[in-house]
Amino acid sequence: MSFRGIRQSKFRHVFGQALKRDQCYDNIRITKSSWDSTFCAVNPKYLAIITEAAGGGAFLVLGLDKSGRVDRDAPLVVGHKAAVLDIQWCPHNDDIIASASEDCTVKVWQIPEGGLLRNLEEPVVDLAAHQRRVGLVVWHPTVQNILLSGGSDNKIVIWNVGTGEPVAEMEFPDIPLSASWSWDGAKLVASFKDRKVRIIDPRKGSILHEVCAHEGNKPTQVVYLKNGSVFTTGFSRMSERQYALWNDKLKNMNTSEIDTSNGVIFPFYDPDTSMVYLCGKGDSVIRYFEITNDSPHVHFLNLYQSSDPQRGIGWMPKRGLNVNNCEIARFYKLHTKGLCEVIPMTVPRKSELFQDDLYPDTLGDMPSLSAEEWIEGKNADPILISLKDGYVATKKAGIAKVAPSILMSRSNHTNDTSKSSRTTLHHTSHETLASGATLPANIDLQNVLDDVRKLKIIAKGHERRIKYLEDRLAAYEDDDDQEDNEHL
């Protein structure tokens, strides 16, 4: 009989400790939607939570320092005509957030500096291409302005948010349920309602590999790992919850059962520590594992347990953590009774010095490529930053250096088509001024031209929607005429 001993890991003793109630966020009307989503998104500046709204869709945006009891009439981001199903902050600008809704649209919003003082009703970009509800939005990790959306029309659309136009539209046999970009953003992996997991070339729209990952009918969640492997969570044929690890060609490396429950498990992956946190909907525990090259590759570390089930969960990016306390993760757990509980995950260390082994260079907020460069076929790893400077002033840990607005700035990588159109508009404007017309001194001509461009994008989206409704109405009238003829 051999004795295997205990596997050594510096993360073996990671523990979670929820903050006191007055340091959390209370009195929130959390959505009651049955859609399988986390309902929460967080970055170093803001916390966003999808809320219950009558006659439309809305979500709440709070500054991280606005803890405590939230006013019932707190300003919301409104504008969707149906329930909001998914939200995600832009990784390159902490003021930009995308939302997906049952009204078949994706909207991109810019939160004003300092947070919301009144309801935000107008998005900066309205993206309309889906014919049915949109339940998934995922920003590209390395490229500026590239956004993925997945809808119940069995389509995944890749958007260039800067122009408001789709870069690629891909149709599949069933509904996309979750998606994740590879480390350099060259490929993406997605899970579908037909139980398949597919690795996709997002530029060509071609399927590179596919596999039936989990045999159960309930949703599978996927995440791309830094080394090119794929981690999935799902259900067996007997409704037992599972996790699995796949290589870059979707050959199985490990499949293990977790327990028997009916809540979808959302994986949160930390590429710096190679840890995966599993948060099940309706669970009161958060399990965490370490992924290594040693068989069985996925090693259980520990779990955080509480008495209250989670309705949703948010995950703070690494650059928003408190390195003073050796915090390696932070969750924002939504309770069914309107509480958003903050749960830091900490590695116990006695030294007060910066822990280099816990905080290698991590993902920064600067994009590696422009949308145009990526569309042309270029790939690049993310730009990494050191958190050691953040150790000097803890108060700055929650404030990221904000890049220029992805929608308002004039970067060096602006689309050539947009340049030519703006040049034409400038010439027209200068000719008008030369002919004798004058503008008031306080009018910024560039802002006016930008507003015109955004209105054109919104109008184009509405034209698509109107055409779709007219086609449906015509089909309905034809059916009525056929029924009348049959009666005669």
Q: Which pLDDT does position 459 carry in this prediction?
A: 77
SS3 category, 372: helix
Q: Which pLDDT does position 81 carry in this prediction?
A: 92
> 41 is written with which tokens?
């998104």
Residue 170, burial from CB neighbour count under 10 angstroms (0-12, 13-18, 19+): buried
CA distance 7 to 4: 8
Whole-number Cα distances in Å, 337 to 26, 66, 75, 305: 9, 19, 20, 18
Q: Which pLDDT does position 137 carry in this prediction?
A: 97
> At 423, phi and psi to the nearest 5?
-60, -45
Q: C-alpha angle 336/267/257, rounded to 5°?
A: 100
Q: Which pLDDT does position 442 carry in this prediction?
A: 55
Task: Spell 213-228 as b/e; 16+ CB within 10 A means b.
Answer: bbebebbbbbbbbbee
Q: Which pLDDT does position 483 carry in this prediction?
A: 64
Q: Which pLDDT does position 441 carry in this prediction?
A: 56
Whole-number Cα distances in Å, 32 to 54, 57, 284, 314: 12, 12, 18, 17
CA distance 305 to 341: 13
Q: Which residues of the chain have pLDDT under 50?
A: 1-4, 391-437
Neighbours of 396 (CB within 10 A): 13
